[in-house]
Amino acid sequence: MSEAFKKVVSKIDPSIGIVSGLVLLLVIAGFFVSDRFGTTQNLLNILENSVSLGLASMGQTLVILTGGIDLSIGGIISLTSCLTSGVINGNSSLMFPVIAGVLLLGIAIGALNGVLIVRLGVHPLIVTLGMSMVLQGVTLMYTLEPPGAMPLSWDLVAYGKLLGVPVAPLVMVLIFIAMWAFLKKARLGRYIFAVGGNAEAARLSGIRQNRVVVFVYTACGFFATLTGLYLVSRMGIGDPRIGGYYMLSSITPVVVGGTILAGGKGGVIGTLIGVYLIIVLRNLLNFMDITSFYQWIIEGVIIIVAVSFYVERKKV
């Protein structure tokens, strides 16, 4: 191994090593479990399945890096997906104004989360839990069933391909890379880590901590809305209950990817690999004909075991 390579390796967080290793292990296991695992079709399948979880977890990562948490992601996804297909209702001419409006709405909800947390001083868990309930209620008042319809052209978002390559999974990866660069290179990115690492020290260093907090919840609202729009495309219609899954599942890849709940440590690359870990695992269990109940159990065990590896043991 060359020195330069060693240096690069030494800089990679061990948690990313562990979670990458787990993904690799699952992929190898996949080839033994089924002939169909290694097919291009299945690979594309895995990539497509990772998009919605990836987008939702992206926002969650930013929030958790500041030491917060956003439980309203699911509510935002449900509401925005229903509003989109419900209001458009098959009318292509409404598509772009409605989508723009829905994006603004998601951003506004995220910003409201942030402002409430900062102004009221209430813990993010409480604020976003409350917000999630409010949003779920509003969504169910609006519709109890999948509402309206999307124009066929919106299918392109989920199923569009460029030279045979599905665009959405690619875009998701590009978003992760862009956010990685943002966190690393931008001042605001650095401030996110500073606030998560030690909010009081950040404040006393003249960092506008409140703005940083409002920013991450706003960004989280934006990414949750993207998730909603993607899901509408994938299914052709919104669903008032679809978000529920993402409320907690968006946290899994973040923590499995090495971002610590207390904030200040971690990053989006770990989350991306964490997303693939979850999706490949599910794919594999499907091939093994294991029911979803077992999938939940195995996922739960993996979270606890994986994260237990990252815990810095208190040295006494």
Partner 1 sequence: MAETVLQVKSVTKHFPGVVALNQVDFNNYAGEIHALVGENGAGKSTLIKVIAGAYQPDGGEIIFGGQKTVWDSPHQSREAGISVIYQEFNLFPDLTVAENIFMGNEPLKAFRLIDYPKMIKESDELLSKFGICIEPLKKVKDLSVAEQQMVEIAKGMCNQTKLFILDEPTAGISDQEAETLFERLAVLKAEGVSVIYISHRLGEIFQIADRVTVLKDGNLVDTFDTKAIDKNTLVSKMVGRDLEDIYPPKGGEAGGEALSIKSLSVGHLVKDVSFSLRQGEILGLAGLVGSRRTELAHGLFGSLPITAGSYKLGGREVSATNPQASIRSGLGFLTEDRKNEGLVLGQSIEANITMPILAQFANNSLVDFKREKNFCQQEMDKYAIVAKSGEVLVNNLSGGNQQKVLFSRWVQACGGVLILDEPTRGVDVGAKVEIYKIIRDLAESGLAILLISSELQEVVGMCDRVVVMKEGRLAGELENDQISEESIMHLATLSRENFVCD
What is the phi/psi pair of residue 263, to 5°? 95, 165
Which region, left, alpha or beta, applies to residue 237 given φ > 0 means left and ψ of -120 to 50 means alpha?
beta
Binding-site member from 17, 101, 166, 197 for partner 1 (CB under 8 A): 197
**Judged by CB under 8 A, does residue 119 bind partner 1?**
no
Binding-site member from 28, 201, 301, 305 for partner 1 (CB under 8 A): 201
Closest CA to 300 of 308, 312, 288: 308
State the minimum distance, in angstroms, from the CB of residue 195 to partner 1: 9
Q: Which is nearer to partner 1, 45 or 198 (CB)?
A: 198
Closest CA to 216 of 177, 186, 241: 186
Binding-site member from 152, 208, 292, 296 for partner 1 (CB under 8 A): 208
State the minimum distance, in angstroms, from the CB of residue 253 to partner 1: 21
Q: Cα(315)–Cα(258) distance, rounded to whole angstroms?
A: 20
**Judged by CB under 8 A, does residue 198 bind partner 1?**
yes
**Judged by CB under 8 A, does residue 177 bind partner 1?**
no
Q: Cα(72)–Cα(82) distance, rounded to whole angstroms?
A: 16
Q: Cα(209)–Cα(198) distance, rounded to whole angstroms?
A: 10
Q: Which is nearer to partner 1, 161 or 185 (CB)?
A: 185
Distance of CA 197 to the CA centre of its chain: 21
Q: Which stretch in 74-82, 105-113, 118-126, 187-195 sits in contact with partner 1 by CB under 8 A?
A: 187-195
Residue bearing tokens 């043991």: 313
Residues 6+ apart with CB under 8 A from 152: none
How many other C-beta atoms are found inside a 10 Å radius of the C-beta of residue 290? 14
Q: Which stretch in 59-67, 93-101, 147-155, 204-212 sits in contact with partner 1 by CB under 8 A?
A: 204-212
Binding-site member from 33, 138, 203, 241 for partner 1 (CB under 8 A): 203
Q: Which stretch in 42-50, 111-119, 188-196, 279-287 sits in contact with partner 1 by CB under 8 A?
A: 188-196
Binding-site member from 115, 167, 173, 188 for partner 1 (CB under 8 A): 188
Binding-site member from 37, 176, 193, 222 for partner 1 (CB under 8 A): 193
How many other C-beta atoms are found inside a 10 Å radius of the C-beta of residue 101? 15
State the residues that interact with partner 1 by CB under 8 A: 185-188, 190-191, 193-194, 197-198, 200-208, 264-265, 315-316
